[in-house]
Amino acid sequence: MNRRAVRALIRRDLQTVLQSKPVLMPMIILPVILVVILPLVIGLAARAADPASPDYADLITLMEQLPPGMMSEFSSLSSMDQAVIYTLIYFFAPLFLILPMMTASVIAADSFAGEKERKTLEALLYTPTSDQELYLAKVLSPWLAAFAVTVLALVGYSIVVNAVAGPLVGHLFFPNGMWLVLTFWVAPAAAGLGLGSMVLVSSRVSTFQEAYQLGSIVVVPILLLLFGQIGGIIYFSIPVVLLVGLVLWLIDLGVLWFGARSFTRSRLFSRL
């Protein structure tokens, strides 16, 4: 394998991302909303909630449904304070997975559909690389970018959580073990699912918008996890997060294997 050529293609794709506003803006706006604005507003609103309000009663009911031991670390706190911590730590866990998936999807949507729009795909296909090397570069560039965004988002979210809930606990307590597993085990798998699906889509359509719209369906599994968390069907603990990551990695292997098998220059040339 020509590693130098693969690295050069990855650098080229990442530089293109930094120069493209339609690709770069979602990568900035979405993390700011999900890991700064939304948790800050919800956390502060929960802390200021009226104990006589229906929303307060709903939060307490939700707390009573938590598995034994999940909030044992914060058993000395009031029910409302526990509800704030639950909201910030457990409720946002599946929502956080949208970040790597959407980041990888946006970049992967630009990987071939964007090349077609910019009229640079033909020159790319004539580069002295094999089909597998070209496919690997097109997969790794969005995956690396998505992982970097996820780690930065974790840092930002940690600052928000500790600022909102740290005074309740009395010390810095975030990120915990579950979130570290979520970030370094599940998030890369979620990114792999998004980019693997999107590379398949973007190599078959003509524009970035078409690829992005068709590939957005990959967020459905994450939304199902979110709804399951809201409905009390599942709660993100370390065993659950490990299992979710394992399932996603197995799906990734299948999607990426199929993509590598079906990816050929001749098919791309036929769509120029």
Range of the domain at 203: 3-270
Tokens 């706006």 label which residue? 29
**Residue 125, amino acid:** L
**Eight-class DSSP state of 66:** S
Q: b vs e for 22-33, b when ≥16 Cβ sit within 10 Å of the residue's Cβ? A: ebeebbeebbee
Q: What is the mean pLDDT of residues 234-253?
A: 86
| Total residues found in the chain within this entry | 272
- Counting residues of the chain whose pLDDT is more than 70, the rounded percentage is 62
Tokens 């992982």 label which residue? 147
Alpha carbon distance 202, 211 (integer Å): 5
Identify which of 59-68, 73-82, 83-92, 167-176 has the greatest average pLDDT.
Answer: 167-176
Q: Is the pLDDT of residue 66 over 70?
A: no
Note the pLDDT of residue 73: 62
Q: Is the pLDDT of residue 1 over 90?
A: no
Candidate from 111-125, 159-173, 180-194 with smallest mean pLDDT: 111-125
Q: Is the pLDDT of residue 36 over 80?
A: yes
* Torsion sign over Cα 45, 46, 52, 55: positive
- Number of compact structural domains in the chain: 1
